[in-house]
Amino acid sequence: MDFLVDEAIKVCKIYLRISDFLKTIQNIKIKTDHALSAREIKRRMAGISVYKLSNYEDHNIFLKHQDDSSKDVSFYFISKPDALDFFDMAKLYHNFENDWRIFDTPLSKIIDKEGYEIRRLVPELSQIKNAIEEKWKETGTRDNFFTGVPVFMSNNLRPHRTRRGERLRLAFLRKEDLQERLNAMSISPGTIKVASLEETIQEMKDSSTSKSNDILFVGYGDTSWTWLDS
């Protein structure tokens, strides 16, 4: 009898250990890496250009950072006319050689550049106004500022299906391009969502969230995304 009791106690102890082990496993949060690769992020913005003031030796115009004079700030404009206006203004303070021009460069090439200077994307003023207006419609609160480069999306616009079978939400750099696409498809705009290009890219890089992993950026003219179907 004592032998049976001892064996029963051993079995109970083993059961309790197994039970504790299973509880421990259940309490462990499985960490999933949601971050998109750098290559995939660049793919989502392929065909989009930004504009900079430079020369043929790829020298840029820099301004000193207001909080750290040891760092230079270079500007990349979303709108080419804005870049040209900046060039005209800069001529008042700088004697440029003849080889200085406004050059276009892929957005994908500057998002992960590292160096001593700080790179700033400069949004188009009209799109900032559009972003403030849409934010006011959505929240009922009017703010007179918007941080970053705005991108515009509509829940009524169906995700774009690529030949890979992906379903990607289109984020437009110009509100007017989104509206034209909706009008062409006879779709009501509904609520237009506004986000920051910079924050959206950061969310794509973030391993803790997949919030923006299905975003495809659309540049000016509503044509840059069509290469995905080729």
* pLDDT (tens digit per residue) in 180-208: 988 888 888 788 999 999 999 999 988 77
pLDDT at 59: 59
Residue showing tokens 């991108």: 151
pLDDT tens digit string along 78-102?
999 998 888 888 777 777 666 678 8
pLDDT at 21: 45
Q: Which residues contact 102 (CB under 8 A, 6 or more apart)?
A: 51, 52, 53, 80, 83, 84, 87
pLDDT tens digit string along 106-152?
998 887 655 555 678 889 999 999 999 998 988 887 778 888 999 99
Quickly state the pLDDT bin for 158 (edges 50, 70, 90).
Answer: confident
Cα separation, 188 vs 56, whole angstroms: 46
Quickly state the pLDDT bin for 175 (edges 50, 70, 90).
Answer: very high
For 4-31, what is the mean pLDDT?
47
Quickly state the pLDDT bin for 174 (edges 50, 70, 90).
Answer: very high
Quickly state the pLDDT bin for 16 (edges 50, 70, 90).
Answer: very low
Q: How far is CA 57 from the centre of its chain?
A: 29
pLDDT at 178 over 90: yes
pLDDT at 13 over 60: no
Beta strands in 37-86 (DSSP E): 49-54, 62-64, 72-77
- Give the CA distances from residue 129 to residues 96, 136, 153, 158, 204, in Å, rounded to whole numbers and listed in that order: 33, 11, 16, 26, 26
pLDDT at 157 over 80: yes
pLDDT at 176 over 80: yes
In the chain the domains, ranked by start, together with CATH numbers, are: 38-48+123-224 (3.40.1350.100), 51-122 (no CATH)
Bridge partner list, 226: none
pLDDT at 173: 95
